[in-house]
Amino acid sequence: MASETQVKQYLAYWFQLGKKVIVSHTNQALLPRPIFEGNGYSEAFEQCWQTITSPQSGDCFLDGTNETITELLKPEWELVVCSRCTLPIPSRMVGMPPESCPCSDLPSWPNNEVPLPRSAVDNQTQLSQIRDRLVFRLKTGQAEEETLPACPIGEIPLCGCPEAAVPDDANDSLPKEHRPTKPAQGYPNWDRVR
């Protein structure tokens, strides 16, 4: 079963690509802008979510899909990765799978030359982790390649992924307030979202 948080994240990914939620009762198309404010969802997104989950709205579904948002919150559905575009799609755990991915009618998708849709980012946490790692390097005099393994996604190891965290034993000589923090969670794993 997909949780409310996971369904919101699913919608946020597709909203970033211009997909709309259709309210069948009024035939209204919803596409909140902006999607994020700070490290969370925007007021427009939250109002859209309230409309989608309101019983007065009737069935609401993402354009290009047949599954209603209400159905996705039921136990027989889960969110998995689309094999074509790597974004989350609904999959029925019991019965027949959905007909297609919402990406099937996007002519320019997948497009590996543009950034992928993302979840909200907590900038303060990310910046604190970068600061802590830089302070550690300055105090120990170690070069970047000595302290951090290569980032698995090929970017600068300041991305905050779990593989880029400094080993615990390397921090023993630093005061506690200057020790790098490990990220709470890595990138979303859509293989088995429950």
CA distance readout (Å), 121 to 73, 124, 186: 24, 9, 12
| Strands (E) located in the chain | 21-23, 28-30, 36-37, 40-41, 60-62, 77-81, 88-92
Q: Looking at residue 115, what is its pLDDT? A: 80
Instruction: Encode pLDDT of 116-151 as tens digits.
Output: 787 777 788 888 989 999 988 888 876 554 444 444
44 pLDDT band, cuts 50/70/90, is very high
Return the number of other C-beta atoms located less than 10 Å from residue 176's C-beta. 6
pTM: 0.54
Q: Looking at residue 141, what is its pLDDT? A: 75
4 Cβ neighbours under 8 A, 6+ residues apart? 73
3, 13 Cβ separation under 8 angstroms: no
161, 153 Cβ separation under 8 angstroms: yes
Instruction: Encode pLDDT of 142-175 as tens digits.
Output: 655 444 444 444 444 444 444 444 444 544 554 5
Q: Looking at residue 96, what is its pLDDT? A: 56
